[in-house]
Structure 1
């Protein structure tokens, strides 16, 4: 295949993707307009839904950042990326449950949050390191299909391992006093935890941007993602 044919192929893919994006955006705008004109929801309800969506979207954005970093450097679709986050969430839940039963959570809620963050980050980091060392490192020069199948297998392995140990039932974190409170602005009620999640996501994304753009390690990562042979 010549370079001209490749460029034509890429251009057609880009056109199709742009058409899909415009279609999705148009459908969202149309659905929102119809719902707004029907008067089914009050303006305060829309604002509450918007804030909840921003908080939930912030979590997805953080996960997507890690996902894109892995793909940009390793050129591999890591299907087990969500399970790495899941491992940290599970461990921090059981740590929170133990601290609640001991009474430490009620006595030191801020310290508890710090401990939970450390336990979640440490667990996810450990799982990611083990996964990379055992499953991915030897496949760096392998065909992409093999890496893809390995990632899917790693995803299923982590899912069913955690399901076997902890079950698949719903689990909720203990309440952290003021963290689960509500703030009222006129007719709009906002959960404190939603604001905390959104602010934490913004800070973490800003920190990641600084790390990638300003530090030597981050610049090395960018160089590898641009051209692995030259960077090495």
Structure 2
């Protein structure tokens, strides 16, 4: 049951409640992280010491805030909700998105962040000029890993990424990807009929841009290596 507040609530109280919610969200994420994920990401970083791993998310989840699990394995995080006020010219709610072009900005921002980090790393290497390293940055392989055909595969491919679709086995209880499969919707889904129609169209178009599919998290390093061998 909801009730209106008897008097105006201070913005500081609202912010405190939000901060508590966001903190617990990430604590909960740490308690429920897939057991084989940390080991797998660690293996990728060991096999590719110069790799830069970033998260691109459509919400407020941020692995950089998961101090005891994922934070040491990630270099940055880009959120769809970042700097909304400054993106009024092209920001759209995800439910209104109808094409890959409207998804490109977040991947372009992630790519810019990657280059910034890569240049900073290069500047610490003896005898390396940041300007001399720019051509090398453009030649490196960008691999985007995600579980959403339209947003992850379609959006990142439009910006030049190789893609890996995480179509995980049933043991992972991955319900999100079934939202637009035409099967029974997850109980928590709030997608409208229009959004379902748009997303099915985008999913169908993105299917052809999948470079690799992975059913088990432990298979991710092999998929990455196969893409790198073909690059």
Higher helix share: 1
Higher strand share: 2
TM-score by length of 2: 0.28
Which of these two proteins has the greater Rg computed from alpha carbons?
A: 1
TM-score by length of 1: 0.28
